[in-house]
Every structure is written in C-alpha cells, then in structure tokens.
Amino acid sequence: MSVAPSAVSAPIRVAVIIGSVRKGRFGPTVAGWFVTQVARHPGVEVDLIDLIDYDLPAALTDSPSPEIGAKLGELDPRLTAADAFVVVTPEYNHSVPASLKSFIDWHFVQWQAKPVALISYGGMAGGLRAVEHLRHIFAELHAMTIRDSLSFHNFHAQFDAQGQLIEPAGAEAAADTLVNQLGWWARALREARDKHPYGA
C-alpha cells in the first residue's frame, strides 16, 4: 500500500509545550526563541501550547468534571493533530515540574507512535535530569524521544533582557539538528501510522 504524495509532503505539525507554570518562569523565553528557529525550516508548522492556560489537576479521574472536560476538549484535538512534540522544561528537584507530569498523564493515545524532542534549562545541570526522566515517561506512553536534546546551562547568563541569546551560534546549530531529526522521525512515523494504525 503506497502513501499518497500529499500525505508524505504535507507540513509537519509540531506542538511546542511550555512545561512550567511557576511564577517568574523562564519557559516562554526559551520556547519563543525556539519557535523562531523552527521558522527557518520550511514545511514545519508550530502550535505553541502553554500549560499555564489550562491548570489541569494532578489527580486523574475516569470521569473529569465539566470544567476539566472542557479543557481536555480543547487540548486533545491539538495533540492529536500534532505529528511531533517539543517539550520545554526546567528541572525541579531533579525531575520534571508537576504541571508537566500532570499534563502528560491526562493524555495517552495522543502521544503514541510520535517523536518528542526535549529542551531544558537550569543551573549547572541545564535541566538534563528532567530530560532523562521524560525519556522514561514517554517510553511508557509509546512515544519516541529524539536522541539529541537541547539544554541551556545557567540560562540567565545566556539570554539578554530581550530574550535573545548572547552567543547564539552553538544553540542555533543544535536547534537545527534537533528540528531536522524531529522532522525525519515525524515524517517516517506519520507514514507508518497511515499505512498501519498503531495499536499499543
């Protein structure tokens, strides 16, 4: 069974997720910078999802309240439509923010057989311990994390007051690599899902 050329060449839809909702968070700055890098890649469309707009509870239920159901009703189609995901996260206590873990746990089939790229920021560790935890979490959800991640160590010293990198060359090259890898996997897995719907 062949895939129609339009399905192969259709733009890749990437959902960029801002994982922290803490007051004074830096996630929107990192995500905004990354979105400008993606814009240099033709054939990639971005849907920016900021978790501060949804406030999903940590307690999962089989029958969400009408209020939570409405939030999920807005989020679910956006995740379903995505061919790939980029998660932007800090590291809290050697792991991921509770807001991000809750958001991930409220969904399941939306992650399946799709690639996830990870971008972190923090102090000396650059949020890398959160990245390693996310790899295990997404593996359990049948998603595939991209091998190369992007991290910003001592992030406050790397960005200026306007949210631009002071020395951008290295990070821009890493972002290009990440987007290229994500695009390859997104197209390959989309084609595979079109041929054979994924069953967990």
User: In Å, how far from its chain's centre is CA 35?
Assistant: 12
**Phi, psi dihedrals of residue 33, rounded to the nearest 5°:** -60, -45
**Strand pairing of 144-145 and 115-122?**
parallel
Q: Is 12 among the domain residues?
A: no
The pLDDT of residue 5 is above 60: no
Segment 34-49, tens digit of pLDDT: 999 999 999 999 999 9
Q: Per-residue DSSP letters for 32-78?
A: HHHHHHHTTSTTEEEEEEEGGGT---SS--SS--HHHHHHHHHHHHH
Q: Is 176 among the domain residues?
A: no
- Please indicate, yes or no, whether the overall pTM of this predicted structure exceeds 0.85: yes
30: Cα within 13 Å, side-chain hemisphere: 32
pLDDT given at position 1: 41
Element (H, E) at 168: none
Helix (H, G, I), strand (E, B) or coil at 42: coil
- Residue 46: give its domain's CATH number: 3.40.50.360
Helix (H, G, I), strand (E, B) or coil at 198: coil
State percent of the chain over pLDDT 90.
89
Q: CB under 8 Å to 70, separation ≥6 — which residues?
A: none
| Angstrom distance (rounded) from CA 11 to CA 50 | 22
Q: Does the CA dihedral 69-74-78-81 come out positive or negative?
A: positive
The pLDDT of residue 112 is above 60: yes
Q: Is 11 among the domain residues?
A: no
Task: Tally the domains of the chain.
Answer: 1
Confidence class for position 200, pLDDT limits 50, 70, 90: low
Domain of 61 in residue numbering reads as: 17-169+186-195
Amino acid at 181: Q
Q: Is 8 among the domain residues?
A: no
The pLDDT of residue 3 is above 90: no
Confidence class for position 66, pLDDT limits 50, 70, 90: very high
Q: Is 3 among the domain residues?
A: no
pLDDT given at position 55: 87
Amino acid at 101: K
Q: CB under 8 Å to 92, separation ≥6 — which residues?
A: 98, 130
Segment 122-161, tens digit of pLDDT: 998 999 999 999 999 999 999 999 999 999 999 999 999 9
Average pLDDT, the chain: 93
Helix (H, G, I), strand (E, B) or coil at 154: coil
Q: Where are the beta strands (DSSP E) in 75-166?
A: 84-90, 115-122, 144-145, 150-153
Q: Is 181 among the domain residues?
A: no
Element (H, E) at 122: strand 115-122
